[in-house]
Structure 1
């Protein structure tokens, strides 16, 4: 993907047409899809985490009740009582471990979707600036739009993997496979975020190179918040 980003920069440099006046371009259609899907994932995860946390509290309270009963029994009674309650007591621990494991998975997924949200926010911030930068030609802005669309579309694929994970908790998918998909989605989101930042930085550098005077350079730096 980084090679593609570099190629995109070269293409921008090779495009030749008159510098356009500052104007706004329509919002990318894919953006609303990315936002909607990401919001849906976050909402689903928050709901599931809340349910699991409530279940954890219930299981912990159940364990305390069992332990309180044990503490009141005599030694000879404990042996007999334990045999009768062994499976139930074991079940509490196994279920609690399972619930805590699910919460860990969901927290990891939530971290990924937060990164996706950051990607969208960074895209919107940069895109709104580039559209107003008169150092870029109209055809270059259109090319940027295609590149940004590609990055956002790739990020949607990663979110699709997250939906697969959410569905997997009701299937027989192994923990190893589930973790593999989660890590892959996380790596892809990180890669998309890096590609976005790289493309943004390259575009800013291009704008600086086109500044004709030091005053223009300072103006560009101020515009993009560069110290």
Structure 2
């Protein structure tokens, strides 16, 4: 039986199918029961980092969920934006917000249904974290971004250490430049509970 959707359950997911089942349950209430209740600030941090690095559209929002990062990009006047996520139910919620030119299901651990170098940039908030996506997905991120494009990703700080992201970025070597890391609070001052002070790396780089 699928557990009730919450952050602890999300962090314990093991397979893409586990993700699909959980987020199908969570989609209708995610914005209130998670984003508002937890004072979720990470999408804004990523959008601001992308804009500050000179990121432009067209940009792909990887693991877009209900469109929180799309809204933050809109507030930073970045667009046009397309969205992909494992969960069609989450994308259905995002679609109602009118933020994206195209929305489609996709799996970063496989191959997204887009051409090589289709985008001038890529962003992601909350996807590179426990129970979700590890450093093996970085190759697919690079594939869909054209040379000279900007990438801004959030990577949960504990996940960064546990999954060897630093070593993976070192291995990417000449494929990336201008790599920058900034540690931020995932949740704002209104957040409570055991994850209230969790941290994330916001990573920006240029695809060479």
With structure 1 as the length reference, what TM-score do the two structures score? 0.19
Q: Which has the higher contact order (CA 8 A, sep 6+)?
A: 1
- Greater share of helix residues, 1 or 2? 1
For normalisation by structure 2, the TM-score amounts to: 0.20
